[in-house]
Structure formats: structure tokens, C-alpha cells
A and B are shown apart, each in its own frame.
Chain A
């Protein structure tokens, strides 16, 4: 069966520090991968998505970036965190390129920027 992992679970970082969040998927090949952010107040916003290794698309301009160095690994990064980057970051995957396939979410990373 397929499993999605996110690391770390929680993170407290000072403003201006770098960031690296990792998402890995097991049990599937060539998934579509997504990064969402949920700010306080609960709305979910798509940040990045990837349809293959090295292929990254950005939905919203941010001081964040994403990379996909391996088929089942998706990384969210920042060189300098802002207070507004605080939130709950969720990674999701879809098993194929089919339009109707369900997105399955990881456990999330709660980021607090102080």
C-alpha cells in the first residue's frame, strides 16, 4: 500500500533562517506531488506541484521554492523565512495523471516562525 511521510512534524525557526521540509511517498511510482499551506484560519492554498523529477510549477509567488530530486521525494525550501511563512504545510500525492484521481495527504509539518 502507498504511504506518504513528512518530516519534521513540527518546527520552530527564527525569521531569516533557512527552511527545508521533506515529503516522501512509498509504494507508488511517478506520482504527482503537491505542497499546500494552511495558514491560521484554515484555508488551504496550493504552493507547488510536480508531475515528475525536476519538474516544478509554482501556483503562488512566494519566498519559498520546491524541488523534486527523486521520483518520490518532494522538498520545500526557503533561504530566509518570514513571519508570514508560519503555518501548516501539507504534502499530497496523486497516483496518476488522471484528472479525477484523489489527492492523498501526508501528516503535515507545523512551522512557527518567530
Chain B
């Protein structure tokens, strides 16, 4: 069975600090895909990144970076120089196939990030 663990329930930082959100996953698939989504107070889930299991290169997008390590089954997310607008709940997710077709996201429980002035 697929499982995603986000051990950090809530993190509070002061603006301009760097922050890392942890994600640990479990899967028996040899090919799989990992995702990060952001959920601001408005509620909509915003897609941030998709990473496949064959690509272990770290990725950077502006202030965001992701560290994927298959050896430790982790896919951590770092925000550099955090801003108040980064305050949101962040979800890590793992994809699995559905028997009827299509795919299914297994989500972690999310990490609430609060960035204060």
C-alpha cells in the first residue's frame, strides 16, 4: 500500500528565514511519481511540482527547491527567504494506479506553514 508521511504538523518561521518541509513515502512500485501541492487559505490546491522516480536531480524554481532521495524515500521541499504569502498548508502526494483506469493521489496529512513578519 502507498503511504506518505509528513511528520511536521505545523511550522512557524519569521519572514526571510529558510524552511524545509519533510516528506517520506512508501511504495512497492519501481516507477512512481511524487508531487507537492500548496493549499492557501482560499482552499484551492495549487500544483507545485511533479517528480518521477528515475530523476533524482534536485530541482530549483525561484525560492523553491526540492530534494529527492530514493535511498531514504524522501522528497523534501525547501523555501528560501520565506515570505508571508508562503503561509499555507503544503501537501506531499504519491501517485498510484487505479484498477478502473486513471491514477490516484495518496496524500500526506499536510504541513501548516506560518510565516510571520
Q: Tell me whether A49 and B50 are in contact in the complex, defined as CB-CB below 8 angstroms, given that A42-B89, A42-B110, A108-B43 are known contacts.
A: no
Taking a contact as CB atoms under 8 Å apart, the answer to whether B107 and A99 are in contact is: no
Taking a contact as CB atoms under 8 Å apart, the answer to whether A102 and B44 are in contact is: no
> Between A and B, how many residue pairs show CB distances below 8 Å?
64
A16 CB to nearest B CB, Å: 26
The interface size bin for chain B is 20 to 34
Q: Tell me whether A97 and B102 are in contact in the complex, defined as CB-CB below 8 angstroms, given that A43-B107, A44-B91 are known contacts.
A: yes
CA distance A66 to B42 in the complex (A): 25
Q: Which residue of B lies closest to A108 (CB)?
A: B43
In the assembled complex, A90 has its CB within 8 A of some CB on chain B: yes
Q: Mark A48-76, 1 if CB is under 8 A from B, else 0.
A: 01010001010100000000000000000
Q: Which residue of A lies closest to B9 (CB)?
A: A42
Residue among B44, B89, B109, B110 with the most chain A CB within 10 A? Answer: B44
**A residues at B contact (CB < 8 Å):** 32, 34, 41-44, 46, 49, 51, 55, 57, 59, 88, 90, 92, 94, 97, 99-108, 110
